[in-house]
Structure 1
Amino acid sequence: MSILTPIPPAQPWYARAFYRLPVIGWLARDLAFGDKDNIWYFLVIVLTGVILSVAAWGLPALVMIALTYVPVHMALMAILARP
């Protein structure tokens, strides 16, 4: 699984440190160096997390998730509006 996905030694020290984090790093390492189908598993995990957080906390969880997308959309608008 994701713990067994090797980290290439040519990675900088901060990338190797990030990939060694318990849950987030394992998922990121699997996406970067693992099987090509792992992106679909990752999306199912994220969607399940969103559904469970909305089920537990309701609308405030949905609003907090939407607020995290604001910088992403602003950056995309700036990139797309560039002449």
Structure 2
Amino acid sequence: MTAIEMPRRLPIWQRLFYGIPLLGWLARDAAEGEPEDLVYTAAAIFSMWGCSALLFGLPGLYIPAVLMVPIMFLILILISRG
């Protein structure tokens, strides 16, 4: 017998989410990487947002902000519940 540890198998929703080409890589790196990788992930997200504003103009700036509103509502509800 050997003492080899098998890597844990991720749930199906995580495997599907991590399979998305750019977002999955950023999410996996932020969740399972080094602590400074979270800073690099945030910088990459803000850079993508800035590039969309340069490419598409004001809709590229406003639409991601409007799409973040339900996420912020959820965060505020979770904070208020304790």
Give the TM-score of the pair, scaled to structure 2: 0.70
In angstroms, what is the RMSD of aligned CA positions?
Answer: 2.2
Q: Which moved more, 1:66-75 or 1:18-27?
A: 18-27
Structure of larger gyration radius: 2
Structure 1 unaligned residues grouped into runs of 5+: 1-7
Question: What secondary structure is seen at the aligned counterpart in 2 of 1:22?
Answer: coil
Greater than 6 Å deviation, 4+ residue runs: none
Work out whether 1:32 is the aligned partner of 2:17. no
Q: Which moved more, 1:28-37 or 1:65-74?
A: 65-74
* Alpha-carbon distance change, 14 to 81 in structure 1, aligned in 2, over 3 angstroms: closer
Give the TM-score of the pair, scaled to structure 1: 0.70
Identical columns (%): 32
Deviation at 1:31, TM superposition (A): 1.2
Q: Which has the higher contact order (CA 8 A, sep 6+)?
A: 1
Work out whether 1:59 is the aligned partner of 2:58. yes
Work out whether 1:72 is the aligned partner of 2:71. yes
Structure 1 distance, partners of 2:34, 2:79, is 31
Deviation at 1:53, TM superposition (A): 0.8
Q: Which moved more, 1:73-82 or 1:49-58?
A: 73-82
Structure 2 unaligned residues grouped into runs of 5+: 1-6
